[in-house]
Structure 1
Amino acid sequence: MAKLASGYGFLSTDFLLFYGIEILILAFYAFFWQQIIKHFDLSIAYANRSIALLWSMIWAVIFFQEMVTIKNIIGVIVVIIGTTIVNKEYE
């Protein structure tokens, strides 16, 4: 939503609309994240959170026709593997 808002003039109606939607999305995210950490071990919840990077990259390609570079792919893989390795100690 922030990327969409950036295409409009600062404090214009469309700008405020998209930023308002972004704030709502972040509020939902915060609420659901708190519910997740209430019901799962934090190490498991955090390990699965690293997948958000992958989803962000996928949505950027689908909605904004962003280009994904090999560095982007390697970065996401490194984060996911690193988070998995760190959390293997707690199993």
Structure 2
Amino acid sequence: MSRYGGDGVARIIAVIADVAALILIGWIVLYILKANTGNEVVGWVHSTADWLSGWSHDIFTPNSKWLRVLLNYGIAAAVYLFIGNLLAGRIRRA
């Protein structure tokens, strides 16, 4: 069975979880590479990642700003991937 095979609802949940994680990972990469935050695309990725990870801000508070971004946005990405795909898998098996 393909990654997004099976029930339509499960497929939608898996895709949404993957896209959310991709946006969060995208912001981590853009931040670490010092992308121009004045750029509209970079600004959109940042604001969307902020919205998606609002619940995980300041879980970790290391002194290094890049490490703080990596940990706090990374944990949100991991949670979306884990919970979204776990839920999709359970729906597929039901």
Q: Same fold (TM over 0.5)?
A: no
Query: Which structure would you say has the larger RCO, counting Cα contacts within 8 Å and 6 or more residues apart?
Result: 2
Q: Under a length normalisation based on structure 2, what TM-score does the superposition of the two structures give?
A: 0.42
Q: Under a length normalisation based on structure 1, what TM-score does the superposition of the two structures give?
A: 0.43
Higher helix share: 1
